[in-house]
Amino acid sequence: MLLPVFERRKGLRGRLSIQTNPQWYRDSDRLLKQALYFHGLAPNMQVKLPVTKAGIKAIEEATYQGVNINATVSFTVPQSITVAEAVERGLNRREKEGKPVADMTPVCTIMIGRLDDWMQLLFNGSDIEVKERMQNPVDKEIVDTLYEKFPDFRKAYDVDGMTVDEFDGYGATVRTLRAFIGSYHDFVALIRDVMIPNPDVK
């Protein structure tokens, strides 16, 4: 259904995002292999790769190999910058070899709602109240207080707040990966129960 839009807009619109298996978030080789497979399904695929240590490696290599990536499980400034640098390295490698890049549209999805959920959990019980965050700019005073009191806020806010090695252990990352992996296993269990109904349940 999206392919005509993709063709009419010369690859700049009409892409379909598809998620790599979240349980492989520590295995760049498996992520890359699945990304290449998904990329080959149709010309308008946008492959979601997690912004974990292994995911960054896969993002660079997949970009180099012509995969349009959608960096996911991304919540912070350092993660976004690291994605941009990995994509840039991949695109530069392609260009040096004369491979096309003009039709590539890599993106980084910043999951601000999940970061917000994580911060709210940390703020619980504190004297900080941040209301209507999405509609109105937050007062500098509040940002300064958050910065002073919450190390995870600093990690998300500062350009150099985390290293790539720290991405996998960041609270919002852990919560999201657990949810994604849990959903994957729930889906597999559902398929199992449809294909092989449990004889002990009537």
DSSP labels for the chain? --HHHHHHTTTSS--EEEEPPGGGTT-HHHHHHHHHHHHTT-TTEEEEEE-SHHHHHHHHHHHHTT--EEEEEE-SHHHHHHHHHHHHHHHHHHHHTT---TT---EEEE-HHHHHHHHHHHHTTSS----STTTSPPPHHHHHHHHHH-HHHHHHHSTTS--HHHHTTSHHHHHHHHHHHHHHHHHHHHHHHHHS--TT--
User: Stretch 47-59: mean pLDDT, rounded?
Assistant: 98
Say if residues 137 and 131 touch (Cβ distance below 8 Å).
Answer: no
User: Stretch 51-69: mean pLDDT, rounded?
Assistant: 98
What integer best gives the mean pLDDT of the chain? 92
Angle value at C-alpha 111, between 108 and 116, nearest 5 degrees: 150
The share of the chain scoring above pLDDT 90, in percent, equals: 77
- Residue 136: is its pLDDT beyond 80? no
**Confidence label for 133 from pLDDT (cuts 50, 70 and 90):** low
The pair of three-digit structure tokens given for residue 56, joined into one six-digit string: 């960054």
Q: Which amino acid is at 107?
A: V
The answer, as to whether pTM is greater than 0.85, is yes
Return the bridge partners of 45, or none: 16
- Between CA 48 and CA 109 the distance in angstroms is 9
Q: Which amino acid is at 84?
A: A
Here the contacts of 124-127 (C-beta below 8 Å, separation 24 or greater) are none
pLDDT of residue 13: 87
- Between CA 77 and CA 158 the distance in angstroms is 6
pLDDT of residue 194: 95
The more confidently predicted of residues 102 and 31 is: 31
pLDDT of residue 98: 97
The CATH number that domain 3-195 falls under is: 3.20.20.70
